[in-house]
């Protein structure tokens, strides 16, 4: 069995680890971050020299589900899933694009992780309880933020009770954000559960246009490639136009 961060991985995670290491031609570099907030558990990236890196939160990230989560993100890079390059817009739209694309990736591999017995809804339940509180984050969000929040949570959970409580909050507080969020979820699943890299980027563009209409429009401007060691890193250039 493979070992990462001092933990022996399961058979399925070990197979994923072996595939990722063979693809990049380097062992996964392990980093531990002590300065993150507790809710940021991990990150994966590929260095310019082609070395894959997983970083975990020193306080909350040393768990098997978190490490396997980041292995899945690295695996998607081997399948051509891109980093995002953004032209135009602002820092808010750039951050939104990254968050929405991460949720789309989660919707691809979360079912496999759940099939292995991981309860991926624990943190979502806690987040939703806090968000729905009187002074929770949803009370301060604008239309776009609420629609994006709905999309991300509903996309990532399989807890039907949680989905019902989320729908109830939006039906009582923001039906327009609810309508946009639902259209975004429909756009994500239009091509089925599993997505190619190109389909995932197209879903991102469609969902972003639904979320931000009519203030911003998004389009795929170009695909670019960057040689990183043995790995050809795909980069999707998203053009953002403000109206």
Chain segment 130-186, per-residue pLDDT in tens: 777 766 778 889 999 999 999 999 999 999 999 999 999 999 999 999 999 999 999
pLDDT(235) > 70: yes
Cβ neighbors of 70 (< 8 A, separation 6 or more) are 42, 43, 44, 54, 56
pLDDT tens for each residue of 23-64? 999 999 999 999 999 889 999 999 999 999 999 999 999 999
pLDDT(123) > 80: no
pLDDT score, position 134 = 66
How far apart, in Å, are the Cα atoms of 214 and each of 45, 148, 164, 225?
33, 15, 28, 31
DSSP character string of 104-173: HHHHHHHHHHHHTT--TTHHHHHHHHHHHSTTSHHHH--HHHHHHHHHHHHHH---HHHHHHHHHHHHHH
Q: How confident is the model at residue 125 (pLDDT cuts 50, 70, 90)?
A: confident
Q: To 5 degrees, how large is the angle CA 68–CA 69–CA 72? A: 85
pLDDT(230) > 70: yes
Closest by CA position to 188, among listed 221, 229, 154: 154
How far apart, in Å, are the Cα atoms of 229 and each of 54, 141, 191?
17, 42, 33
Q: To 5 degrees, how large is the angle CA 191–CA 193–CA 199? A: 45
Q: Which helix (H) or strand (E) holds 84?
A: strand 83-88
pLDDT tens for each residue of 188-220? 998 787 899 999 999 999 999 999 999 999 999
Instruction: Quote the pTM value.
Output: 0.94
């Amino acid at each position: 069995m493979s070992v990462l961060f001092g933990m022996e991985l399961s058979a399925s995670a070990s197979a994923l680890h072996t595939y990722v290491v063979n693809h990049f031609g380097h062992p996964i570099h392990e980093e531990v971050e002590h300065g993150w907030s507790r809710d940021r558990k991990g990150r994966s990236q590929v260095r310019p020299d082609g070395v894959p890196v997983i970083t975990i939160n020193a306080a909350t990230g040393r768990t098997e589900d978190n490490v396997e989560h980041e292995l899945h993100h690295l695996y998607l890079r081997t399948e051509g899933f891109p980093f995002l390059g953004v032209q135009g817009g602002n820092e808010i739209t750039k951050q939104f694009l990254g968050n929405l694309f991460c949720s789309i990736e989660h919707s691809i591999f979360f079912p496999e992780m759940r099939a292995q017995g991981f309860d991926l809804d624990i943190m979502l339940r806690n987040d939703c309880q806090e968000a729905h509180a009187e002074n929770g984050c949803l009370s301060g969000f604008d239309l776009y933020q609420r629609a994006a929040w709905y999309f991300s949570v509903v996309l990532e959970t399989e807890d039907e009770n949680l989905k019902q409580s989320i729908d109830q909050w939006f039906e009582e507080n923001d039906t327009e954000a609810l309508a946009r969020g639902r259209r975004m979820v429909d756009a994500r699943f239009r091509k089925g559960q599993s997505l190619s890299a190109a389909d995932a980027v197209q879903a991102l563009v469609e969902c972003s246009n639904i979320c931000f209409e009519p203030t911003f429009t998004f389009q795929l401007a170009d695909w670019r490639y960057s040689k990183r060691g043995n790995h050809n890193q795909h980069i999707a250039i998203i053009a953002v136009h403000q109206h």
